[in-house]
């Protein structure tokens, strides 16, 4: 078989093998939605669709039971997370991670440069008193951080505004782990996902906002990384806890490694064909 024919045959074999390797990843991703609570693909699409959306002027109650309009937070960047006080593992862990990030950002930018709001979505259980106890239990007393309780009628429209998806389960709620960054005009410009909130995820766009630089909603590389992060954080209804499923990133890494190896192989074959052609021309000359 000539070299060019060999390369063509190998190309077909590689394509078939790649599709075989890809199939389990597709099945695995789709099974997350049917077996483990939320359809995480749809949840991610809903969350990302909120980027660029201007938040309506909902009225909620603070920890003292006083009404607070979301429009009162305009004029400064705002971080928004959704929690429920009956969650004893994930919500406290995520909130502590956000607390560490907020402390670092406040040291960098100042304590009054941006606001933080945590919203209790499990009504009527997440009352102002319950949120006050939650904040006290986990020692969250940062300046400009408030815990807000919406009415039962407000929860649905509020969650839709932020692209926040949740579903009741026997053990509590399966919900998206997200923090929304809202600009001074009340528009969502970033969605940050995961149990661990890294300073860089929020710090860079926050710095731009504080400098008066418009931040356009981004769906490029961040969207790919967020996709991996949200799809790999899966809910187990048997335990009522989230766990990390490394199957998808391992398959992605394996696929990338395989493709790189094939590219190197084809490059060497191409060079071999060119050398062979040059040698034939030299012999004819």
Taking 90 as the threshold, does the pLDDT of residue 262 lie above it? no
Helix axes 199-210, 90-109, angle to 10 degrees: 40
* Region of 213 on the Ramachandran plot (φ > 0 left; ψ -120 to 50 alpha; else beta): beta
* Region of 120 on the Ramachandran plot (φ > 0 left; ψ -120 to 50 alpha; else beta): beta
Give the C-alpha separation, 69 to 83, whole Å. 19
Taking 90 as the threshold, does the pLDDT of residue 270 lie above it? no
Question: The whole model's pTM is what?
Answer: 0.67
Taking residues 116-129, what's their average pLDDT?
A: 97
- Say if strands 78-83 and 115-120 run parallel, antiparallel, or are unpaired: parallel
Specify the pLDDT at position 187.
96
Taking 70 as the threshold, does the pLDDT of residue 21 lie above it? no
Indicate the average pLDDT of the chain.
79
pLDDT in tens, 125-174: 999 999 999 999 999 998 899 999 999 999 999 999 999 999 888 778 88
- Say if strands 115-120 and 145-148 run parallel, antiparallel, or are unpaired: parallel
Taking 60 as the threshold, does the pLDDT of residue 25 lie above it? no
Confidence band of 43 (pLDDT split at 50, 70, 90):
confident
Give the C-alpha separation, 123 to 148, whole Å. 12
Lowest model confidence (mean pLDDT) among 26-30, 82-86, 110-114, 197-201? 26-30
Taking residues 43-50, what's their average pLDDT?
A: 90
Which of 44, 51, 43, 48 is closest to 187 using CA atoms?
Answer: 51
* Region of 228 on the Ramachandran plot (φ > 0 left; ψ -120 to 50 alpha; else beta): alpha
Specify the pLDDT at position 98.
93
pLDDT in tens, 175-206: 888 999 999 999 999 999 888 888 888 999 99
Confidence band of 269 (pLDDT split at 50, 70, 90):
confident
Contact between residue 230 and residue 40 where contact means Cβ atoms under 8 Å apart: yes
Cβ count near 32 (within 10 Å): 23
Q: Which helix (H) or strand (E) covers residue 117, if one does?
A: strand 115-120
Taking 70 as the threshold, does the pLDDT of residue 36 lie above it? no
Give the C-alpha separation, 108 to 129, whole Å. 32
Which of 56, 176, 182 is closest to 117 using CA atoms?
Answer: 182
Give the C-alpha separation, 269 to 249, whole Å. 30
Q: Percent of the chain scored above 70 by pLDDT?
A: 73
The larger pLDDT score, comparing residue 37 to residue 224, is at 37
Lowest model confidence (mean pLDDT) among 24-28, 91-95, 155-159, 228-232? 24-28
CA distances from 239 to 85, 167, 206 (A): 17, 15, 36
DSSP 53: P
Spatial neighbors of 19 by CB under 8 A, at least 6 apart, are: none
Spatial neighbors of 222 by CB under 8 A, at least 6 apart, are: 190
The first and second tokens of residue 193, run together, are 């996902």
Confidence band of 56 (pLDDT split at 50, 70, 90):
very high
Angle at the Cα of 33 from the Cα atoms of 27 and 34, rounded to 5 degrees: 85
């Amino acid at each position: 078989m000539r070299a060019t024919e060999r390369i063509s045959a190998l190309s077909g074999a590689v394509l078939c093998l790649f599709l075989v390797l890809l199939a389990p990843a597709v099945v695995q991703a789709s099974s997350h939605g049917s077996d483990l609570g939320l359809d995480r693909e749809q949840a991610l699409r809903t969350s990302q669709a909120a980027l660029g959306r201007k938040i309506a002027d909902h009225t909620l109650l603070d920890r003292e039971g006083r009404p607070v309009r979301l429009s009162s937070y305009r004029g400064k960047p705002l971080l928004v997370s959704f929690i429920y006080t009956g969650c004893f593992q994930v919500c406290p862990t995520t909130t502590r991670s956000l607390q560490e990030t907020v402390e670092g950002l406040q040291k960098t930018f100042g304590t009054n440069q941006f606001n933080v709001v945590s919203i209790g979505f499990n009504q009527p259980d997440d009352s102002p008193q319950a949120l006050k106890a939650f904040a006290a239990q986990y020692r969250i007393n940062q300046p400009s951080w408030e815990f807000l309780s919406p009415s039962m009628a407000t929860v649905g429209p509020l969650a839709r505004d932020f692209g926040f998806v949740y579903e009741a389960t026997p053990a509590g709620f399966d919900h998206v782990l997200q923090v929304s960054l809202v600009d001074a005009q009340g528009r969502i410009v970033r969605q940050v996902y995961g149990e661990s909130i890294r300073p860089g995820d929020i710090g860079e766009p926050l710095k731009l906002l504080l400098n008066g630089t418009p931040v356009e909603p981004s769906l490029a590389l961040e969207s790919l990384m967020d996709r991996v992060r949200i799809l790999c954080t899966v809910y187990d209804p048997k335990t009522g806890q989230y766990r990390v499923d490394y199957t998808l990133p391992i398959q992605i890494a394996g696929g990338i490694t395989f493709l790189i190896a094939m590219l190197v192989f084809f490059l060497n074959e191409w060079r071999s064909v060119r050398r062979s052609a040059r040698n034939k021309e030299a012999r004819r000359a």
